[in-house]
Amino acid sequence: MGFFSKEQCTFCDNKVGYLSRKKLVNNEGYICKECEKNCSSLINISHYTKKELERHIEYMK
Ligand SMILES: [Zn+2]
């Protein structure tokens, strides 16, 4: 796995490039820009676990 390899978004399964993704805590995966839009801009996504973000996205809907 190279530094610039594409990873899968944990939430929508889209492939995300290095610049358009954010890493979740504990290496739990990545979130793409699209899914990030479903999150509040007030939270620091990279400090959340997958479960917490799932709950947050539900809440924001
Ligand atoms: Zn996504």
Prediction pTM value: 0.84
Of 18, 19, 11, 20, give the one whose Cα is nearest residue 38: 11
Please check whether residue 45 lies inside any domain of the structure. Answer: yes
How close is the Cα of 49 to the center of ligand 1, in Å?
Answer: 15
Please check whether residue 37 lies inside any domain of the structure. Answer: yes
pLDDT tens digits, one per residue of 3-40? 567 899 999 999 999 889 999 999 999 999 999 999 99
Number of domains in the chain: 1
Please check whether residue 22 lies inside any domain of the structure. Answer: yes
How close is the Cα of 21 to the center of ligand 1, in Å?
Answer: 8
Q: How far is CA 15 from the centre of its chain?
A: 11
Query: Per the structure block, which two tokens stand in for 23?
Result: 């890493």
- The single residue listed with the structure tokens 């959340």 is 48
Please check whether residue 53 lies inside any domain of the structure. Answer: yes
How close is the Cα of 2 to the center of ligand 1, in Å?
Answer: 20
- Burial (Cβ within 10 Å: 0-12, 13-18, ≥19) of residue 11: buried
How close is the Cα of 38 to the center of ligand 1, in Å?
Answer: 10
Distance CA 61, CA 18 (A): 27
Please check whether residue 51 lies inside any domain of the structure. Answer: yes
Please check whether residue 33 lies inside any domain of the structure. Answer: yes
Structural domain range at position 55: 7-60
